[in-house]
Amino acid sequence: MGSKNKLKRFKENETFPNVIQPKREDLVYGEFLLKGKWNETFFNNDNPIVLELGCGKGEYTVALAKKNPNKNFIGIDIKGARFWRGAKTAVEENLPNVAFVRSQIELIEYIFNENEVDEIWITFPDPQIKYKRTKHRLTNFDFLKRYNHILTKDGIVHLKTDSEFMHGYTLGLLHGLKYEVLYANHNVYKNEGSPEEVTSIQTFYENQYLEVGKPITYIKFKPN
């Protein structure tokens, strides 16, 4: 994407009512006013909150919001030029239950209060296969602790990925931590009974993977 296009999207993001772009210092030093008040201040309802982490173009965020008008959906990504597409679609289609936050995912505990989130979707994250990149893997021990902190007592995490490595790594970690694995599948499009919300929504990159016959894996789990 050209720099002019990026700048145009950054500017347009600033005009969207569903895009929040907090400064890092406001998050870290406790000055983010929506923390603990997302439903009260932003969505103006008491509906469950669902996050998509590393949301990219926001395809899952928008598609799930259309299917579930009784839930609030928030896509989080540091790359605003990417989620611009999802934010623009949500504005154009008048989806009041959609928001996007431009932030690093490791700051998630500064964005949401304890027990404020009901579900988390992690869709096609970078598996960070090299050992020295383990700290950036979105299902590592530290990230799981962060999710556990902001999730409600019965909160759920979904991981959908084309990476067998990420799938296996996560399953091993979950079993070691004694997290409850509610569903696990190495190829959701080849197995009957796969959840509808997993197979009916496909991202841009997912379509590319499917075209070359790459299996898509999925895990649904519940932290302790």
- Which listed residue (77, 126, 142, 154) is catalytic? 126
Concatenated DSSP letters of 120-169: EEEES-----SGGGGGG-TTSHHHHHHHHHHEEEEEEEEEEES-HHHHHH
Q: Compute CA 125 distance to the chain's CA centroid, rounded to the nearest angstrom.
A: 9
Cα(13)–Cα(34) distance, integer angstroms: 18
pLDDT (tens digit per residue) in 134-149: 999 999 999 999 999 9
pLDDT (tens digit per residue) in 196-207: 999 999 988 899
pTM: 0.95
Active site residue 126: yes
